């Protein structure tokens, strides 16, 4: 017995209503599995200016790696281009760039050094600043000291390993040392690491106003090649962390 055409449509609609919840549950399960996998692979970095080390942690806080590093020769939080200070706070990876062909003149009489940034430059998004990142080095003997112009410097083999842990959006926390905090709050000159040129006294300001007047005059030209957003003059888009 043949069913009327109207009943075919009714049965099709009924089958669809039964199948939709099952399909939705299946899609939700796949989405949850994907998100759980992403969480399981999440990493964050901590750069300690006290320990002079860069630590890699997983989402649960388990330490996965620790690398000796060098950071800014200047003490205190970064205020403007050229102060040779490493910024402090919570930032994130903007992009990872191959930098083996880059060169830089450290103004030490040796001229431009090819491979000064090692194999990779992990660019950080630091509001108000450009050209700050984690990279390799041509001078592994500088690791463990305050020797850079503001970036975080690693041994080349370690920066190769680090790029396997990070991606665009990875959170990077940079914590100050006790001397950095002293330089920020009192304006006193921090005692430099042995072998480094002492930094000039930091300017004193009345009361605590210097804590609020940061980054007002932070202008300058970075010696590091700019990212696409920086070249076009656009502010990098905020990323979900």
pLDDT score, position 40 = 74
pLDDT higher than threshold 50 for residue 220: no
Bridge partners for 55 per DSSP: 46, 66
Instruction: Decide if pLDDT at 29 tops 50.
Output: yes
Residue with tokens 């410097």: 153
Task: List the single range of 90-99, 165-174, 200-209 with lowest mean pLDDT.
Answer: 200-209
Highest mean pLDDT among 7-21, 68-82, 217-231 belongs to 68-82
Confidence of residue 184 (pLDDT cuts 50, 70, 90): confident
Looking up tokens 């990098």 gives 236
Residue 200 has pLDDT above 60, yes or no: no
* Runs of H (alpha helix) within the chain: 5-40, 156-162, 178-186, 228-232
pLDDT at 215 over 50: no
Find out whether 166 and 180 touch, Cβ atoms under 8 Å.
no
pLDDT value for 234: 53
Average predicted confidence (pLDDT) for the chain: 78
For the ranges 10-24, 108-122, 225-239, the one whose mean pLDDT is highest? 108-122
Q: Strand 89-98's sheet: what is its strand order?
A: 63-68, 53-58, 43-48, 171-175, 89-98, 120-125, 133-135, 152-153
Please determine, for residue 64, whether its predicted confidence score (pLDDT) is greater than 90: yes
| pLDDT > 60? residue 205 | no
For residues 132 and 219, the model is more confident at 132
> What's residue 236's pLDDT?
47
What pTM was estimated for this model as a whole?
Answer: 0.68
Q: What are phi and psi of 109, to 5 degrees?
A: 90, -5
pLDDT at position 227: 61
C-alpha angle 233-239-241 in degrees, rounded to nearest 5: 145
Residues 117-131 have a mean pLDDT of: 95
């Amino acid at each position: 017995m043949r069913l009327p055409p109207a009943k075919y449509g009714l049965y099709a609609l009924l089958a669809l209503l039964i199948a939709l919840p099952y399909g939705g549950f299946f899609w939700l399960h796949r989405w949850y599995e994907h998100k759980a996998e992403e969480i399981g692979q999440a990493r964050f970095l901590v750069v300690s200016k006290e320990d002079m080390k860069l630590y890699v942690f997983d989402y649960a806080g388990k330490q996965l790696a620790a690398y000796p590093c060098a950071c800014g020769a200047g003490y205190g939080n970064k205020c403007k281009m050229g102060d040779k200070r490493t910024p402090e706070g919570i930032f994130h990876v903007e992009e990872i760039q191959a930098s083996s062909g880059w060169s830089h003149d450290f103004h030490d009489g040796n001229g431009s050094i090819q491979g000064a940034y090692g194999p990779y430059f992990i660019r950080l998004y630091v509001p108000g600043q450009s050209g700050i990142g984690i990279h390799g080095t041509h001078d592994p003997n500088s690791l463990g000291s305050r020797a850079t112009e503001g970036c975080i410097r690693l041994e080349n083999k370690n920066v190769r390993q680090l790029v396997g842990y990070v991606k665009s959006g990875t959170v990077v926390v940079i914590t100050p040392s006790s001397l950095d905090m002293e330089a920020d709050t009192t304006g006193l000159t921090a005692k430099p690491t042995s072998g480094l040129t002492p930094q000039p006294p930091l300017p004193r300001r009345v009361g605590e106003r210097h804590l609020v007047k940061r980054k007002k005059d932070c202008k300058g030209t970075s010696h590091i090649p700019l990212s696409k957003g920086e070249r076009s003059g656009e502010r990098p888009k905020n990323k979900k962390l």
